[in-house]
Amino acid sequence: MPLELGVWRIDTKLQKLNTEALDFEARLESILDQDISITSPGWMVIGRQVLTPHGKFIDLLAVDSTGNLVVLELKRDKTEREVVAQLLDYGSWVRGLRGEDIGPIFNAYRKKYHPSEPDISIDTAFCNRFGTKSMPDEMNGSHELVIVGSSFDASTERIVNYLHDEYGVRINAIFFRVFRDGDRELLTRAWLRDPTDSDEGVVSSGTAHGKIEWNGEYYVSYGDDESRSWDDACKYGFISGGGGQWYSRTLNMLSVGDRIWVNVPGSGFVGVGIVESESTPVSNFSIQADDDSEIPILEMPLVEPKFGHDVDNVELCEHLVKVRWLKILPKSRAVSELGFFGNQNTVARPRNAKWIYTIDRLKEKFGIE
> For every one of its 369 residues, what pLDDT tens digit does the chain have, with 9 covering 90 and above?
556 678 888 888 888 887 765 466 678 899 999 999 999 888 999 999 999 998 999 999 999 988 899 999 998 877 778 889 999 999 999 999 988 899 999 999 999 999 999 899 999 999 888 877 778 777 887 899 999 988 777 888 888 888 888 888 889 999 888 888 888 888 888 888 877 655 544 444 334 344 578 899 999 999 888 889 999 999 999 999 998 888 899 999 999 999 999 999 888 999 999 999 999 999 999 998 888 889 999 999 999 989 999 999 999 999 999 999 999 999 999 999 878 888 888 999 988 888 999 999 999 999 987
pLDDT at 263: 94
CA angle 144, 101, 137 (to 5 degrees): 75
Query: What is the pairing mode between strands 286-288 and 238-241?
Result: unpaired
Q: Which amino acid is at 135?
A: M
pLDDT at 203: 41
Separation between Cα atoms, residue 137 and residue 336, nearest integer Å: 9
Separation between Cα atoms, residue 143 and residue 5, nearest integer Å: 29
Burial class (CB in 10 A: 0-12, 13-18, 19+), 131: middle
**Domain with residues 217-366, CATH architecture:** Roll (3.10)
CB 44 within 8 A of CB 139: no
User: What is the value of pTM for the model shown?
Assistant: 0.76
Separation between Cα atoms, residue 310 and residue 316, nearest integer Å: 6
Separation between Cα atoms, residue 362 and residue 220, nearest integer Å: 14
Dump the DSSP string for 176-226: EEEEEETTEEEEEEEESS-TTTGGGG---TTSGGG-----SEEEEE---BT
The full set of domain ranges for the chain reads 17-199, 217-366
Pick the CATH number of 17-199 from 2.170.140.10, 1.10.3720.10, 3.40.1350.10, 1.20.1250.20: 3.40.1350.10
In 3D space, the residue among 244, 224, 220, 241 whose CA is nearest the CA of residue 304 turns out to be 224
Task: Give the start-end residues of each E strand in the chain.
Answer: 8-9, 15-16, 18-19, 43-51, 57-64, 69-74, 143-149, 171-181, 184-191, 217-221, 238-241, 259-264, 268-275, 280-281, 286-288, 294-296, 319-328, 347-348
